[in-house]
Structure 1
Amino acid sequence: MNIPTTLSRLARCGLLSLAALLAGGPAAFAADLQVSPISLQFQAREQGQPFWLSNSGTQPLRAQIRVQRWSQAEGVDKLEPANDLVASPPTVEVQPGQRQLIRIVRPQTQPAPVERAYRLIVDELPPSTAPQAGASGAPAGLQFLLRYSVPVFIAPDVAAAGAPANAASAAAPGSGDALTAQWKPAAPQVLEVANAGKARVRISRLIYENAKGEQTELVPGLMGYVLAGQRMQFQLPPAATRLAPGGVFKARFNDNLQEQVLRLAAPTS
């Protein structure tokens, strides 16, 4: 399924993507389906966490919840079905003004030396009864179905990682220090970022600072995640074609509001 660039970026960063089903007639949209929280973090041996669906609309809604293993292969996100993390129940109906508890459960808590990543996919399902047709015989309006893609992380087990049992950083997201990047200036320009750490790094507000200290903002908000031990490619905006060599890329990593240098390897064609 093709998703607009902005929504694709939001989906990578743990927000929603939107699937619209055209049904004819005037457009009408309300995000009646809500989810909470927008990300989940399991400790290394934690077995379950709550996840909530709520319905702010006036009609019942149905939703399907799936868990998929998240990896990054050849610089792109890859999702595949997971059986070591499950949603219970997998389908629900939420009444107007109500909310429904979903348990996200690990059947077995197998230790892992690096953080594991998943996506919780929540799909709003079509209503069980079709909307009434208008005078022309066409459906009454434009029907939108929401899809949420919620990131889920399981912290590495300190013993499996060979770290001291009291290591405070074992369950914490990774640091920008574990990242290295390669700028590929051939069109379309790509920034490939590798993460040598044991936990993911979330990258936001990417800027380029030239040798004179002048800055060009390339990505004002969230850019995406680089998972533990993996690499990800990010296509740069057209403004990158005007960047002069000899500068540095800077970005915000995880919850740090201060831009830091993203270590850059030599450009390649």
Structure 2
Amino acid sequence: MRSLPTLLAMLLAFPAAALDLLPTTLQLPAEGGQGELWLYNPGPGRWQGRVQILAWEQRIDAEVLRPTDQVLASPTQLDIPPGIRQRIWLLPGRPGPVSGEQAYRIVLEPRQAGLPRYSLPLFRGQAAPQAQPRVQARIDADASQPYLRLSNAGPLHARLHDLVFVAGDGQRTLLLPGLAGYLLAGRERRWVLPAPPDSYHGGRFHAHLQDGREVDLTTPDPAIAASAPSRL
């Protein structure tokens, strides 16, 4: 029979489970000031790794991350025993306000292979209280695959949930349940759509934003609407 110290040593040697993170989306004020990210290790082993802050940009078919010194994390090296909470401070790298909304990703990279890697959105800057994302949609298609192209002309990012296609007869089809993705301010992205049995033509796309509102993403601009191929 193994002794209690031996059992405890074996328990601590087991890989850590997934971390609990709070909050999962972070916001730093435009004027400076710090933010907090809390991590909790439910066990049974230690969670060891590092923290990186990366500038986040979007291209039509890609998420682009690059090193930055605009926002700093403290600490950057983590060693969290089971059952322990760890606070990470998020600090502006340079004093003074910023113009426009800036987007970053907080990346938690585990030291041990096989554990999940975390990537959380972080935004700095705040537009006027009445400002909203302004998202418009169109259909792109190649020979085999339809795409939903979204553009955000607003000053704030859009976090899209529960993407729905509403056919001309009012029938609703849930395309992407839960978090469909982020669309940064002033950017365009496109998502692969499942091939429908008949057509996307003549329908509309709806989604929920971060404030819970359901919005119609289909632009009324006839020049853009006409670009949807008739076979969709």
Task: Calculate the TM-score normalised by the size of structure 1.
Answer: 0.71
- Classify the secondary structure of the residue corresponding to 1:144: coil
CA contact (8 A) 2:73 2:89 kept: yes
Given residue 116 of structure 2, which amino acid in structure 1 is its aligned partner? L
Shift of residue 268, structure 1, vs aligned partner: 4.4
Given residue 267 of structure 1, which amino acid in structure 2 is its aligned partner? S
Aligned residue number for residue 171 of structure 2: 214
- Which range moved further: 225-234 or 45-54? 45-54
Pair 153,147 (structure 1): closer, same or farther in 2 beyond 3 Å: same
Pair 268,92 (structure 1): closer, same or farther in 2 beyond 3 Å: same
From 196, 199, 211, give the equivalent of 1:243.
199
Aligned residue number for residue 78 of structure 1: 64
Aligned residue number for residue 98 of structure 2: 112
Pair 29,125 (structure 1): closer, same or farther in 2 beyond 3 Å: closer
Mapped partners of 1:33, 1:205: distance in 2: 25
Aligned residue number for residue 125 of structure 2: 155
Mapped partners of 2:185, 2:41: distance in 1: 35
Mapped partners of 1:45, 1:204: distance in 2: 29
Given residue 66 of structure 2, which amino acid in structure 1 is its aligned partner? E
Aligned residue number for residue 47 of structure 2: 61
Given residue 218 of structure 1, which amino acid in structure 2 is its aligned partner? L
Aligned residue number for residue 11 of structure 2: none
Aligned residue number for residue 5 of structure 2: none
1:229 aligned onto 2:186: yes
CA contact (8 A) 2:201 2:228 kept: no
Alignment of 1:109-258 (within 5 A): 109-126=95-112, 144-156=114-126, 167-169=128-130, 174-175=132-133, 178-186=134-142, 187-239=144-196, 242-257=198-213
1:261 aligned onto 2:221: no
Aligned residue number for residue 40 of structure 1: 26
Question: Superposition RMSD on alpha carbons, in Å?
Answer: 2.2
Deviating above 6 A after TM superposition, structure 1's stretches of 4 or more consecutive aligned residues are none
Mapped partners of 1:263, 1:249: distance in 2: 6
The answer for unaligned runs of 5 or more in structure 2 is 1-13
Given residue 151 of structure 1, which amino acid in structure 2 is its aligned partner? P
Greater length-normalized contact order (CA 8 Å, ≥ 6 residues apart): 1
Mapped partners of 1:80, 1:98: distance in 2: 31
CA contact (8 A) 1:47 1:108 kept: no
The answer for unaligned runs of 5 or more in structure 1 is 1-27, 127-142, 159-166
1:50 aligned onto 2:36: yes
Given residue 118 of structure 2, which amino acid in structure 1 is its aligned partner? Y
Mapped partners of 2:176, 2:91: distance in 1: 35
- Which range moved further: 108-117 or 206-215? 108-117
Given residue 168 of structure 1, which amino acid in structure 2 is its aligned partner? P
Mapped partners of 1:96, 1:31: distance in 2: 9
Given residue 189 of structure 2, which amino acid in structure 1 is its aligned partner? M
The sequence identity of aligned pairs, in percent, is 30
Pair 112,182 (structure 1): closer, same or farther in 2 beyond 3 Å: farther
Shift of residue 32, structure 1, vs aligned partner: 4.2
Mapped partners of 2:174, 2:89: distance in 1: 40
Count of residues in correspondence between the two structures: 210
Given residue 56 of structure 1, which amino acid in structure 2 is its aligned partner? P
Pair 194,213 (structure 1): closer, same or farther in 2 beyond 3 Å: same
Question: Cα deviation per residue 1:173-202 (whole Å; 9 max; x = unaligned)?
Answer: x33xx1112201333211111111111011
Mapped partners of 2:166, 2:148: distance in 1: 15
- Which range moved further: 102-111 or 59-68? 102-111
